């Protein structure tokens, strides 16, 4: 970038070919740009329309999550976890509570695990709907955005019914869930499941046979399997390049081993594969939701261990120990034993894991969030260098970074 950081375009070199003079220019894209999926800034070296060099500059949404989490109790951290990846917020909540439960050796009841799976998968579908809508919007197709947002409203209605908010749900707790499902949940989810497969076909009909979309995505931003692993890519973008990695199958958590679902893996590694694979994944998520919903049985929704969860109110009248546990939990929260733990999960963007370091206190000592979007942003460079500027926009859209996830 220019030495004074002013953001002005810079001419790096110029050559003459006969009467024709060409210049190699260094140009700034973002952080305020309609197509950079948030506040992502890229400094690119352009030779005409071809990108010769690319350097992402991030940090425009740095919120200091990890430092803030060191100053909140273990249960209060759940409020913060979902604000990082705001598109698939339950993925973050789930990853954190799983890590904290591993530290505490908590036993989460089956009903809570199944509800967690249902809600996380519905959230994953909502996240992929944003991906399709905004991805096509970046390529200039305005209509599919409104179609996908319409279905996302259905998904958000279900999630709002359960947690009270449309986004950034703090519904999971360390040990289980905040409260049980409301009436009408099952009908709403079944209605959603009935409607969605037809809608997914409708979206695909909107773009898949469109010549413009095919030309803009086939062969664009090809990432080989080796490059994907070199860069640390994970998630659907990596699976589109042949990296067969999905933590729901490789390291199952929260009961995922019980459900029968496929993980699509494609070999081409271009933008076309990256977009198609997420549409295929939405179908698999619907399968998981259906199976989990069928197996849902009544039962407790939180680990009854008094050291983690509040005792039931009627016990407070009779038992002194219950009152003491209640007091300790409300004033300080629980104290996990000293140690370090890491639990990887699969978010809509890739490998998501919380590395928790506990010193035995009521607040975490160190929370490191391994967010998928940070290495995914690194992948934009090998995908886009050598291609054209418009292809870079397609690559950013199909890597699906969420800047809250990148900058934390």
Partner 1 sequence: MVTTVSTPSVAESMVEALSDLSAERSDRFGQLHLTLPASAIREAVRRCRAAGLEHLSDVMGIDWLEYPGQQGPRFTVVYNLYSLRDSSRLMLRVDVADGETVPSITPQWAGASFFEREVYDLFGIEFAGHPDLRKLVTPDDLEGHPLRKDFPLGETPTLFGEGRFLDPASFRAGMMGRDRGRTGWVGGARKGVRSEQRRDPEADS
Partner 2 sequence: MGLKDLFEKDFQELERDGILFSTLGRLVAWGRSNSLYPVTFGLACCALEMMQSTNPRNDLARFGSEVFRASPRQADVMIVAGRLSKKMAPVMRRVYEQMPEPKWVISMGACASSGGMFNNYAIVQNVDSVVPVDIYVPGCPPRPESLIFAVMQLQKKVRGEAFDQHGVELPMVEGWSRP
Residue 316 interacts, among partner 1, partner 2, none and using kind-specific CB cut-offs from 5 to 8 Å, with none
| Residue 67 interacts with partner 1 (CB under 8 A): yes or no | yes
Kindly state the DSSP code that residue 314 receives in the 8-state scheme. G
Q: Nearest Cα to 375, choosing from 401, 337, 348?
A: 401
Helix (H, G, I), strand (E, B) or coil at 367: strand
Closest to partner 2 by CB, 134 vs 371, is: 134
Who's near 374: CB < 8 A, 6+ residues apart? Answer: 58, 405, 406
For the chain, give the longest Cα–Cα distance: 95
Q: Which stretch binds partner 1 (CB under 8 A): 20-28, 112-120, 145-153, 241-249?
A: 241-249
Q: Which of partner 1, partner 2, none is residue 104 near (CB under 5 to 8 Å by kind)?
A: partner 1
Instruction: Identify which range of 216-224, 260-268, 270-278, 325-333 contacts partner 1 by CB under 8 A.
Output: 325-333
Residue 34: other Cβ atoms inside 10 A: 10
Tokens of 36: 């950079």
**Do 335 and 103 meet the contact criterion of CB atoms below 8 Å apart?**
no
In the complex, least distance from residue 8 CB atom to partner 2, rounded to whole angstroms? 12
Q: Are strands 20-29 and 366-370 parallel, antiparallel or unpaired?
A: unpaired
Instruction: Annotate 92-115 with b (16+ C-beta within 10 A) or e (fewer).
Output: bbbbbbbbbbbbbebebbbbbbbb
Interaction between residue 221 and partner 1 (CB under 8 A): no
Between 58 and 393, CB nearer to partner 1: 58
State the binding partner of 18 from partner 1, partner 2, none, CB within 5 to 8 A by kind. Answer: none
Decide if residue 360 touches partner 1 (CB under 8 A). yes
Which range touches partner 1 (CB under 8 A), out of 130-138, 185-193, 199-207, 330-338?
330-338
3-class secondary-structure state, position 408: coil
Toward partner 1, which CB reaches closer, 193 or 357?
357
Q: Is 240 helix (H, G, I), strand (E, B) or coil?
A: coil
Per CB under 8 A, 245 contacts partner 1 = yes
| Distance from C-alpha of 186 to C-alpha of 245, rounded to nearest angstrom | 31
Stretch that binds partner 1, among 60-68, 156-164, 168-176, 189-197 (CB under 8 A): 60-68
| Binding at 339: pick from partner 2, partner 1, none (beta carbon under 5-8 Å per type) | partner 1
Taking the complex as a whole, how short is the minimal distance between the CB of residue 160 and partner 1, in angstroms?
A: 29
Closest separation between CB of residue 60 and partner 2, Å? 4
């Amino acid at each position: 970038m220019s030495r004074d950081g002013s953001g002005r375009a810079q001419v790096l070199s110029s050559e003459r070919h006969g009467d024709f003079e060409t210049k190699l220019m260094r140009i700034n894209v973002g952080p305020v740009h309609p197509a950079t999926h948030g506040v992502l800034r890229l400094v690119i070296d352009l030779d005409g329309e071809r990108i010769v060099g690319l350097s992402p500059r991030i940090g425009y949404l740095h919120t200091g999550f990890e430092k803030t989490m060191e100053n909140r109790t273990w249960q209060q951290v759940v409020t913060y976890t979902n604000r990082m990846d705001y598109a698939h917020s339950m993925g973050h909540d789930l990853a954190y509570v799983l890590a904290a439960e591993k530290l505490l050796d908590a036993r989460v009841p089956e009903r809570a695990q199944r509800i967690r799976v249902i809600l996380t998968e519905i959230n994953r579908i909502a996240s992929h709907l944003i991906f399709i809508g905004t991805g096509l919007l970046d390529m200039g197709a305005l209509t599919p955005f409104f179609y996908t947002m319409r279905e996302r409203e259905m998904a958000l209605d279900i999630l709002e019914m359960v947690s009270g908010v449309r986004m950034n749900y703090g519904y999971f707790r360390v040990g289980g869930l905040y409260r049980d499902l409301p009436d009408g949940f099952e009908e709403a989810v079944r209605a959603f499941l009935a409607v969605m497969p037809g809608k997914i076909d409708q979206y695909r009909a909107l773009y898949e046979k469109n010549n413009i979309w095919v030309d803009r995505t086939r062969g664009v931003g090809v990432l080989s399997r080796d490059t994907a692993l070199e860069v640390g890519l994970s998630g659907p973008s990596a699976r589109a390049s042949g990296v067969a990695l999905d933590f729901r199958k490789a390291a199952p958590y929260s009961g995922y081993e019980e459900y029968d679902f496929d993980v699509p893996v494609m070999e081409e590694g271009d933008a076309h594969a990256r977009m198609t694979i997420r549409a295929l994944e939405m179908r698999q998520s619907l399968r998981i939701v259906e199976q989990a919903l069928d197996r849902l049985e009544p039962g407790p929704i939180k680990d009854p261990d008094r050291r983690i969860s509040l005792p039931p109110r009627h016990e407070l009248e009779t038992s002194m120990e219950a009152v003491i546990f209640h007091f300790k939990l409300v004033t300080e929260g629980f104290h996990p034993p000293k140690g370090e733990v890491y639990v990887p999960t699969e978010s809509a963007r890739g490998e998501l894991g919380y590395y928790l370091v506990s010193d035995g206190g009521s607040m975490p000592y160190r929370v490191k969030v391994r967010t998928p979007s940070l290495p995914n942003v690194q992948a934009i460079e090998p995908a886009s260098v050598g291609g054209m500027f418009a292809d870079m926009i397609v690559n950013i859209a199909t890597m699906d970074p969420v800047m809250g996830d990148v900058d934390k």
